[in-house]
């Protein structure tokens, strides 16, 4: 039996400061070792019993990964500090998730219990997938939702059991060659969700995935594919945590969404990575006629996050939306934004981005809105607001709005504000500590966006902001 690390046996009184900061010592049954080469990929294929086309897909992704340069000509040079040969690419206890928490290995079960997942599942979720390092330890969907024909499984099970849907869309929204990290993900992907919602089915409660990194020097490469068939609706929420290790950890996911005619997908992320995680994620959705894709993205923690959720509106009257909150604390860099590609007439997109930079934290907004000249009746609204806390903070905005042609409407607003010493003094005079005062001001700044989050997540978000602000006061 794997041994539990001694320091985790007694309840940690500091646990509320950073709920995710603990780890268990595991003896993994499947371990691809350190470093990446063709053999690593073969090992992963063998463990997962990948069909030939997936093996070929992975090898092709690997070649593209090697070919592509680091995007440091525009992105942070911190990327050069990722040492790919020091990373472990696959760690698991087996590829088949349990349907019952009782069957989940003890350390994994304890991990997710400490993170509150089974409790949330009982309270308000339609289905849960809980990924521990490379594979899901648990995956289940409520019977009533399953009976409607909704599929909610891991990517491995998806490609094995539902190849006719999976293969049609997999890698189509985000090709392996999109960027260096989407290529890397294509080579070594494991875990993530596959969801299919049949025509007209409206999933009432959210489906949730929780991504947990437990191992040191590890790379997590989940791959999620969500297909909402005509007129259907689904909300998917993901949470992420990792313990604080001395060495860096890589999280590089690819998420593809397909909303067919009139379908609606809401994708909610609340990430709370520890400060050693490189979080380099590619997320994009394809919205057909009158379909709607909404990304609600909250980035807290990590060493460097690069994430620009996008929507390609390829059908008439499709809608795309990105609502994002990023909080860059001391030493962190949140490089986030949105991409909106108006590939059909009368398409509408909305981007609202709020960033908070604290201490030496750095926030960058990168936006791309593309409306070609022959389009008619397209609309975009972009708002980016930055809040700076203390003078070392830095914020950059790179909004690229390419609206050629004169039959479309674009609107862009940006603001930068500071929490000033007089505001903090005013709140302190009412009895709030400096940390509480800053936390209140930050919560006020993001308040209108937090209302867009599902109730349970907005409570969680407020708590995370409180913890970050308490920790940021000297």
Enumerate binding residues for another protein (CB under 8 A): 417, 421-423, 425-434, 436-437, 440-441, 443-448
Cross-strand bridge partners of residue 304: 278, 333
Asked whether the beta carbons of 274 and 17 are under 8 A apart, the reply is no
Beta strands in 192-243 (DSSP E): 193-197, 207-212, 219-220, 223-228, 233-241
- Tokens for 404? 């050629």
Nearer to another protein, 250 or 327 (CB): 327
Determine contact, residues 324/300, Cβ cutoff 8 Å. Answer: no
Shortest Å, Cβ 440 to another protein: 6
Rounded least distance, CB 423 to another protein, Å: 5
Question: Which CB sits closer to another protein, 360 or 443?
Answer: 443
Count the Cβ atoms, other than its own, within 10 Å of residue 248: 21
| CB nearer to another protein: pick between 53 and 426 | 426
Rounded least distance, CB 118 to another protein, Å? 25
Of 97, 208, 210, 220, nearest in space to 161 by CA: 97
Q: Among 360, 358, 355, 368, which Cα is nearest to 396's?
A: 355
Cα distance between residue 64 and residue 62, in whole Å? 5
Q: Which CB, 68 or 462, lies closer to another protein?
A: 462
359 φ/ψ sector (left φ>0, alpha ψ -120 to 50, else beta): left
Minimal distance, residue 446 CB to another protein, in Å: 7
Specify the residue, 136 or 440, whose C-beta has the smaller distance to another protein: 440
According to DSSP, residue 61 is labeled H
- Rounded to 10 deg, the angle between the 106-114 and 117-124 helix axes is 60
Q: Are 311 and 320 in contact (CB under 8 A)?
A: yes
Closest CB to another protein among 86 and 415? Answer: 415
**Helix H or strand E segment including 326:** strand 319-328
Report the nearest approach of another protein to the CB of residue 429 (Å): 5
* In the complex, minimum distance from the CB of residue 97 to another protein, in angstroms, rounded to a whole number: 37
Token pair recorded at residue 222: 């989940």
Nearer to another protein, 344 or 386 (CB): 386
Question: To the nearest whole angstrom, how small is the minimum distance from the Cβ of residue 472 to another protein?
Answer: 16
Cβ-contact 195, 146 below 8 angstroms: no
Give the angle subtended at the CA of 131 by the CAs of 126 and 137, to the nearest 5°: 85
Closest by CA position to 218, among listed 345, 57, 397, 91: 91
Smallest distance from the beta carbon of 439 to another protein, in angstroms? Answer: 9
Instruction: Give the residue with the Cβ less far from another protein, 110 or 443.
Output: 443
Q: How far is the CB of 327 from another protein (least distance, A)?
A: 15
Task: Return the number of the residue (247 or 433) whose C-beta is nearest another protein.
Answer: 433
Among residues 403, 466, 467, 473, the alpha carbon closest in space to that of 440 is found at 466
Q: What would the two tokens of residue 265 be? A: 């997908």
Q: How far is the CB of 466 from another protein (least distance, A)?
A: 11
Comparing CB distances to another protein, the nearer of 4 and 473 is 473
Residue 72 or 420 with smaller CB distance to another protein: 420
> Please, how many CA atoms are within 13 Å of residue 101, restricted to the half-sphere of its CB?
14
The values of phi and psi at residue 340, to 5°, are: -125, 115
Closest separation in Å from C-beta 356 to another protein: 12
């Amino acid at each position: 039996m794997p041994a539990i690390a001694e320091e985790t046996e007694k309840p940690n009184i500091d646990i509320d400061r950073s709920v995710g900061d603990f780890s268990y010592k595991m003896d993994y049954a499947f371990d691809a070792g350190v470093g990446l080469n063709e053999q690593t990929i073969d090992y992963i294929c063998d463990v997962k019993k990948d069909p030939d086309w997936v093996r070929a897909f992975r090898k092709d992704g690997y070649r593209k990964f090697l070919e592509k340069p680091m995007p440091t000509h525009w992105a942070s040079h911190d990327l050069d500090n990722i040492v790919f040969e020091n990373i472990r690419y696959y760690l698991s206890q087996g590829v088949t998730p349990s349907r019952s928490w009782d069957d989940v290995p003890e350390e994994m079960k304890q991990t997710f219990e400490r993170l509150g997942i089974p409790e949330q599942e009982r309270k308000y979720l339609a289905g849960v997938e809980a990924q521990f390092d490379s594979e899901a330890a648990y995956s289940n969907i409520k019977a009533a939702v399953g009976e409607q024909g909704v599929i909610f499984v891991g990517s491995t099970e998806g490609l094995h059991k539902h190849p006719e849907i999976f293969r049609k869309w997999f890698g189509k929204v985000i090709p392996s060659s999109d960027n260096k990290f989407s290529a890397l993900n294509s080579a070594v992907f494991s875990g993530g969700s596959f969801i299919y919602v049949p025509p007209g089915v409206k999933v009432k409660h959210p489906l949730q995935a929780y991504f947990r990194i437990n191992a040191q020097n590890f790379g997590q490469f989940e791959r999620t594919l969500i297909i909402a068939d005509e007129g259907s609706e689904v909300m998917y929420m993901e949470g992420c945590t990792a313990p604080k290790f001395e060495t860096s950890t890589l999280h590089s996911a690819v998420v593809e969404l397909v909303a067919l005619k009139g379908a609606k997908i809401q994708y909610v992320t609340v990430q709370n990575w520890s400060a050693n995680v490189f979080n380099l994620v590619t997320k994009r959705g394809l919205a057909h006629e009158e379909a709607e894709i909404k990304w609600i993205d909250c980035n807290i923690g990590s060493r460097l996050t690069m994430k620009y959720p996008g929507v390609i509106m390829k059908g008439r009257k499709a809608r795309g939306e990105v609502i994002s909150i990023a909080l860059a604390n001391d030493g962190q860099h949140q490089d986030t934004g949105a991409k909106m590609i108006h590939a059909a007439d009368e398409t509408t997109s909305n981007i609202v981005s709020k960033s908070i930079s604290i201490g030496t934290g750095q926030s960058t907004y990168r936006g791309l809105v593309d409306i070609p000249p022959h389009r008619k009746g397209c609309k975009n609204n972009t708002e980016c607001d930055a809040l700076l806390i203390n003078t070392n903070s830095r914020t950059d905005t790179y909004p690229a709005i390419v609206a050629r042609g004169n039959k479309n409407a674009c609107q862009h607003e940006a603001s930068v504000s500071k929490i000033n010493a007089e505001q903090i003094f005013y709140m302190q005079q009412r009895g709030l500590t400096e940390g509480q005062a800053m936390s209140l001001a930050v919560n006020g700044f993001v308040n209108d966006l937090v209302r867009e989050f599902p109730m349970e997540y907005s409570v969680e978000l407020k708590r995370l902001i409180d913890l970050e602000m308490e920790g940021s006061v000297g």
